[in-house]
A and B are shown apart, each in its own frame.
Chain A
């Protein structure tokens, strides 16, 4: 049984709504208008609030949490650690000189020199290793504190992910897009099944959030985790739910997914970190 599950999780079934020549911008327009039509009463800016944008019942409870949010301490710790000197006398400030203005809205970006998608987390750890420090763990802990601080300073900036006219960048975007729409796992479900077609529907008691705006609140403090987590931590969880083998946080696959997924929220405001129930 286990063997079958693993084999199936690598099996990708071709996705249906796949216009061959659609540009990232076409994709975004189509996704946006799908949701604006599906939820005509939800103000567009509200999509940054995930499921609480569309579910009034949980929204009230969530707003109460947001008054004294559990992520606040992560921002504080992040601030301290961000300014603390590394052993070589430098600090994150040297790697992220524009941090005060807000930088999160520009991540992930495609670095044409290395041919890689650069996520904020990968840039944080690159800063560390470039300065002779050890990498942080990718999914929780200190990396979410630095991330929370940088997201906080970026609040209100519009997400602005770019796909340059570069074969590698376009390929990464398309890999992410394919991942999002492809069925996977023993239970055979795509991200799109839950967060596009049935967004707003209920799986058991869980209301499904729309893909539009889904990334803007990360990192999040999730009560279920009793702590903070990155977007890739969540990806892993959503893969496991359908009995697919999760990929490693910051693997090429998840970076490509984040690239597509974040592009699909372009124009909405960064509002991380956030509270999740």
Chain B
């Protein structure tokens, strides 16, 4: 779902926030905590371990197998597409080296949500 310029009323923005489940920029305290948890999961070697392959701001000893994760909103205007990529990268590239985090239960749905929230802030 894309956020387009002509959505102006607060009501419709509120509706959007509801359906995206997340809106950076006007993040509540809860959102802030979620993003912090997401970062922890993304950096944890037993969970996302995204740094094995991607450069991410704030992480050290990153690999270079995948593209640096920067400007995510520009590359993924659609939050759901970003989540789908993290959930199962094989949808976009069947032979990808990237781990199918969702289907192989490397992270739970909830954990993938948190990681996606964090990645979306980059």
Given contacts A201-B63, A203-B52, A204-B62, contact A4 B97 (CB under 8 A): no
Decide yes or no whether A106 CB sits under 8 A from chain B.
no
In the bound complex, do residue A16 and residue B53 qualify as a contact, i.e. CB atoms below 8 Å apart?
Answer: no
What per-residue 1/0 map shows which CB atoms of B20-41 lie under 8 Å from chain A? 0000000000000000000000
Which residue of B has the minimal Cβ distance to A206? B63
* A206 cross-chain contacts in B, Cβ below 8 A: 63
* A203 cross-chain contacts in B, Cβ below 8 A: 52-53, 63, 65
Decide yes or no whether A187 CB sits under 8 A from chain B.
yes
In the bound complex, do residue B104 and residue A187 qualify as a contact, i.e. CB atoms below 8 Å apart?
Answer: yes
* B52 cross-chain contacts in A, Cβ below 8 A: 203-204
CB distance from B65 to the nearest CB of A (A): 5
In the bound complex, do residue B106 and residue A205 qualify as a contact, i.e. CB atoms below 8 Å apart?
Answer: no
Decide yes or no whether A197 CB sits under 8 A from chain B.
yes
In the bound complex, do residue A205 and residue B61 qualify as a contact, i.e. CB atoms below 8 Å apart?
Answer: yes
* B53 cross-chain contacts in A, Cβ below 8 A: 203
We find that the number of chain A residues with CB closer than 8 angstroms to chain B is 18
CB distance from B72 to the nearest CB of A (A): 21
* A205 cross-chain contacts in B, Cβ below 8 A: 61, 63
CB distance from B18 to the nearest CB of A (A): 32
In the bound complex, do residue A186 and residue B106 qualify as a contact, i.e. CB atoms below 8 Å apart?
Answer: yes
Decide yes or no whether A238 CB sits under 8 A from chain B.
no
In the bound complex, do residue A202 and residue B104 qualify as a contact, i.e. CB atoms below 8 Å apart?
Answer: no
Which residue of B has the minimal Cβ distance to A200? B64
Which residue of B has the minimal Cβ distance to A198? B65
Interfacial residues of chain A within 169-223, with CB under 8 A of chain B in the complex: 186-189, 193-194, 197-198, 201-206
CB distance from B8 to the nearest CB of A (A): 45
* A187 cross-chain contacts in B, Cβ below 8 A: 99, 104, 106
Cβ-defined partner of A188 (8 Å) among B51, B63, B65, B99: B99
Give CA–CA (A201, B106) in the complex, Å: 23
Cβ-defined partner of B97 (8 Å) among A8, A16, A186, A198: A198
In the bound complex, do residue B104 and residue A4 qualify as a contact, i.e. CB atoms below 8 Å apart?
Answer: yes
In the bound complex, do residue B104 and residue A193 qualify as a contact, i.e. CB atoms below 8 Å apart?
Answer: no
Give CA–CA (A194, B52) in the complex, Å: 12
Which one of A1, A203, A205 has the highest number of Cβ atoms from chain B below 10 Å of its Cβ?
A: A203
Decide yes or no whether B11 CB sits under 8 A from chain A.
no
Decide yes or no whether B12 CB sits under 8 A from chain A.
no
* B100 cross-chain contacts in A, Cβ below 8 A: 188
In the bound complex, do residue B64 and residue A186 qualify as a contact, i.e. CB atoms below 8 Å apart?
Answer: no
Cβ-defined partner of B104 (8 Å) among A188, A194, A201: A188
23 contacts between A and B (CB under 8 A): A1-B105, A4-B104, A186-B105, A186-B106, A187-B99, A187-B106, A188-B99, A189-B97, A189-B99, A194-B97, A198-B65, A201-B63, A201-B64, A202-B63, A202-B64, A202-B65, A203-B65, A204-B52, A204-B61, A204-B62, A204-B63, A205-B61, A205-B63
A197-B97, A202-B65 known, 17 other contacts, Cβ within 8 Å? A4-B104, A16-B94, A187-B106, A189-B97, A189-B99, A193-B97, A198-B65, A201-B63, A201-B65, A202-B64, A203-B63, A204-B51, A204-B61, A204-B63, A205-B61, A205-B63, A206-B63
A binding-site residues for B, Cβ under 8 Å: 1, 4, 8, 16, 186-189, 193-194, 197-198, 201-206
